[in-house]
Structure 1
Amino acid sequence: MTRPTIDYNSNSPHYRENWVQIAEDFHASGKPIAWSDNYGGFWLVASHAAVNQIGSDWETFTSVNDLSGTENGGQGIVIPRSTYRLFLGESDPPLHTDRRRIEAPFFTPRSVRQWGPVAHGYLNEAVDALDGRGSGDLVDDVIIPTTARTTLHVLGYDPDDWRDAAYSAHAAVFLMPDDPGYPRDEQARLRQRFRDIILERRTNPTGDLITALAQGTVQGEPLSLDEAESMLNILVFGGFDTTTALVAHALIWLDDKPELKERLRDHAALRKNAVEEFLRVVTPATNIARTAVKDTEILGQKIAKGERVWMWLAGANRDPLVFESPNEIRLDRENARDHVAFSTGNHRCLGSPLAKVEAEAMLETILRRLPDMRIDHEGIKKYPRLGSINGFSAVPFRLDATAA
């Protein structure tokens, strides 16, 4: 069988500017699976059904990052492979299930209802700080302060100490690890701070999520400091730029649509569904990887043991077999919530309910409190690479009722 190939690199400038067309062409090929030689080689999969199959079959497609070479040979969930193990995300059941159980109580519907007012409060503070100013930046002045402070509040970390964490998370998603500007030192200091606070909560519990990590047990043993720090690390870094990118994309798209702005501001049900549709279309976290631990087959294509499979979440969310006219944004799309923006299977993002609550709160508040906001489209700066997050480093705006 001839192996289909594709030159796919989500960290490239070509992908950054053309990923929607790449997805459309990939689906038009009739079978959206192909081999790329980039980063040591991997299978790219954009079929919505196949992505759900791969993400749910952990016995065939492992998430493990076997850095020691003593486990199952898995190469983790990111490409290129990370040398820093994400203990929760890069594990399989039953170990993954036991680790996830520690965090789960903080993201139940009842718990998430508490965080909505928290997000509203931080967002109102950010908007209040714009008083008297005629301009600002959505990312730096409004959204990042809200998502960062809300996330840290949920964890039990000082929400006013958000700037270092936000910078480290922000820069790491658009710079490659070998870039001279990559925030390696900043991240190392932050991880040490995480370790210090975890150790402190072991003796002085406060009932928050950090305390749960500090005192949690996995398979009858206390969670190690490495495990706890890694899990806290991904909660922090995973909670900032994804929601920021989602809301920024939504507000950019809405900028010249005053009637839709009013409808979203005034109708909670439409706003809730719109967040799902924006998640489908934007897909802030673009890819997630697995490693085949045995020979198998996907979409009629043989996958060999040890080969990597990259689930293209953004591509799967443009699957025309699932979403009619997938490149159109339809705020009332009936199956918008069928997206895989939060991954799928056992590893579906635990914090997804919080992200959606934050996004809904920000859309309602910004549209209500800043009705005259106009985006400076010429000043928008996308991330130089979208391999991690489909986001922006700058989204300037003006507060001027007469602005174009």
Structure 2
Amino acid sequence: MATVGSQSESVATDQALPQERIDSSAAVISDDVEAILDEYDVFREVCPVAYTNHYGGYWLMTRYEDIKAAALDSETFISSVRAVIPSDPRGLRRPPLNFDAPNHTPYRTALDRTLKPARIKRLADRLEQHAQALLSSLLQRQQGDICTEFAAQFAAWVETEWLNLTPDTAPRLASTASAWVNAWRQMDGEKTTFYSTQLYDIARAVLADRREHPRDPEVDPTSSLLLERSSNGEPLEEIHLVGCIRQSLVVGMVAPPLMLGGICNYLSGDQQLQQRLRDDPSLIPAAIEEFVRMFSPYRGFARTVSKETVMYGQTIRLGVPMSPTYSVANRDPAVFNDPHRFVLNRPNIAMHLGFGRGRHRCVGQPLAKLYVHVASDGVAPRPG
């Protein structure tokens, strides 16, 4: 198996852009959104599969069709080696995100069972109450940080309600998940472990309670998981059950708050669209789809190939991660006309990859859409 270093040397002279140019690109190292988007446009045109040495080395994909194809081909582009960039500094693997089929399937089936339309509809009323309670102090002060004081706190309530946790869990989850994410971003293994251990404690407690007091598996993810069996017909292993619950605790704590921040920032500069959505709430679902396309928050999902694969003349070797970056695909002008502009009722909006595709499409998609819908309605209340 080739090492990351030898792979870097082998592609440095073959890529359409010099290695130094790629490694110093805003698409790789910057947090400046406009600069990142500009660089993605350059890469897409002249270097659609680019290798960078950052985070141990990985390939960056920038064309919609390539990214979609990789997401749909779960036999070649697998998740069990690397599923995010940067990876958890401790190298832990949790289902279903870090598993491939058939090992991935029972976990996915169990979670999907609790996210059917009827369940989502029942959650809506309670979530609206939480949203209004969180917003009341911001509205009274007429100022505040919408991401930290509302979006992250509301995300914790969404997770708490979906997983049927006790009310005191929500504020604990919000603060712990935030600290864990920051430690992960800084690749601080010690702090990542410290905060992750607290999340694991919550997961173990929930699993122990549901073993003793099982609930309706149609509405309780942990009880649903306990019904499932592995591909060999055996009960799912304790370590993986805890890992899946732990994964579920934070699955909605990262992306939805970031996306809501992008939405609020955009709406603050488009008073006309704000008023239009207030006057006609039936437009909100279409607006949310376009917002998801424009503000897909993840840049770092990853796959590795199960066999050497050649793309645009570059050999992708086993073990070297690839980033099928959905936010880049959603700005591809070959698919979305005028991709950097908000277009309500965009004709091909269903083609966006904001929630991925294939076996690893976002399991929480229905919950995420409910989050954005309730939150958007709360932060932009209609007169009267």
Structure-2 residue corresponding to 1:359: 372
Q: CA deviation at 1:76?
A: 1.6
Structure-2 residue corresponding to 1:254: 267
Q: CA deviation at 1:310?
A: 1.3
From the superposition, tell whether residues 51 and 180 of structure 1 become closer, same or farther in structure 2 (CA, over 3 Å).
Answer: closer
- The structure 1 residue matched to 2:112, chosen from 104, 119, 125, is 104
Structure-1 residue corresponding to 2:304: 291
Is residue 2:178 matched to residue 1:170?
yes
Q: CA deviation at 1:154?
A: 0.7
Alignment of 1:179-218 (within 5 A): 179=188, 182-207=191-216, 208-218=220-230
- The structure 2 residue matched to 1:240, chosen from 233, 253, 259, is 253
Structure-2 residue corresponding to 1:28: 45
Shifted more, 146-155 versus 130-139: the winner is: 130-139
Shifted more, 155-164 versus 298-307: the winner is: 298-307
1:202-237 superposed Cα distances (whole Å, 9 cap, x missing partner):
121122212223453223222222111211122221
Q: How many pairs are equivalent?
A: 360
Is residue 2:14 matched to residue 1:3?
yes
TM-score after normalising by structure 2: 0.86
- The structure 2 residue matched to 1:60, chosen from 68, 76, 81, is 76
Q: Which amino acid aligns with 1:358?
A: Y
Structure-1 residue corresponding to 2:8: none
1:345-382 superposed Cα distances (whole Å, 9 cap, x missing partner):
110001111111221121122211699xxxxxxxxxxx
Q: Which amino acid aligns with 2:259?
A: L
Q: Which amino acid aligns with 2:193?
A: R
Structure 1 residue ranges (4+ consecutive) displaced by more than 6 angstroms after TM superposition = none
Matched position secondary structure for 1:95 = coil
1:155-186 superposed Cα distances (whole Å, 9 cap, x missing partner):
11123321221122223334435349945323
Structure-1 residue corresponding to 2:87: 81
Matched position secondary structure for 1:44 = strand
Structure-2 residue corresponding to 1:138: 146
- Greater strand percent: which structure? 1
Alignment of 1:303-314 (within 5 A): 303-314=316-327
Matched position secondary structure for 2:302 = strand
From the superposition, tell whether residues 300 and 108 of structure 1 become closer, same or farther in structure 2 (CA, over 3 Å).
Answer: farther
Shifted more, 256-265 versus 361-370: the winner is: 361-370
- Structure 2 gaps, min length 5: 1-10
Is residue 2:289 matched to residue 1:273?
no
Matched position secondary structure for 2:99 = coil
Structure-1 residue corresponding to 2:58: 42
Q: Which amino acid aligns with 1:122?
A: H
Is residue 2:158 matched to residue 1:155?
no
From the superposition, tell whether residues 160 and 264 of structure 1 become closer, same or farther in structure 2 (CA, over 3 Å).
Answer: farther
TM-score after normalising by structure 1: 0.82
Matched position secondary structure for 2:141 = coil
Equivalent-residue separation in structure 2 for 1:111 and 1:186 (angstroms): 30
Equivalent-residue separation in structure 1 for 2:281 and 2:225 (angstroms): 35
Q: Which amino acid aligns with 1:21?
A: D
Shifted more, 54-63 versus 329-338: the winner is: 329-338
1:294-314 superposed Cα distances (whole Å, 9 cap, x missing partner):
122334543233332111222
Matched position secondary structure for 2:65 = helix
Percentage identity across paired residues of the two chains: 27
- The structure 2 residue matched to 1:350, chosen from 355, 363, 366, is 363
From the superposition, tell whether residues 61 and 210 of structure 1 become closer, same or farther in structure 2 (CA, over 3 Å).
Answer: same
Q: Which amino acid aligns with 1:92?
A: D
Q: Which amino acid aligns with 2:129?
A: G
1:270-302 superposed Cα distances (whole Å, 9 cap, x missing partner):
211111111111111222111111122334543
Q: Which amino acid aligns with 1:51?
A: I
From the superposition, tell whether residues 154 and 370 of structure 1 become closer, same or farther in structure 2 (CA, over 3 Å).
Answer: farther
Equivalent-residue separation in structure 2 for 1:14 and 1:146 (angstroms): 24
From the superposition, tell whether residues 131 and 27 of structure 1 become closer, same or farther in structure 2 (CA, over 3 Å).
Answer: closer
Equivalent-residue separation in structure 2 for 1:370 and 1:28 (angstroms): 46
Equivalent-residue separation in structure 2 for 1:183 and 1:17 (angstroms): 30
Structure-2 residue corresponding to 1:397: none
Q: Which amino acid aligns with 2:287?
A: A
Equivalent-residue separation in structure 2 for 1:131 and 1:264 (angstroms): 19
Q: CA deviation at 1:116?
A: 2.1
Confirm or deny: 8 A CA contact 2:204 2:242 kept in the other structure: yes
- Please provide the CA RMSD for this pair: 2.5
Matched position secondary structure for 1:288 = coil
Q: Which amino acid aligns with 2:207?
A: I
From the superposition, tell whether residues 306 and 242 of structure 1 become closer, same or farther in structure 2 (CA, over 3 Å).
Answer: closer
Confirm or deny: 8 A CA contact 1:27 1:320 kept in the other structure: no
Confirm or deny: 8 A CA contact 1:61 1:291 kept in the other structure: yes
Equivalent-residue separation in structure 1 for 2:41 and 2:235 (angstroms): 48
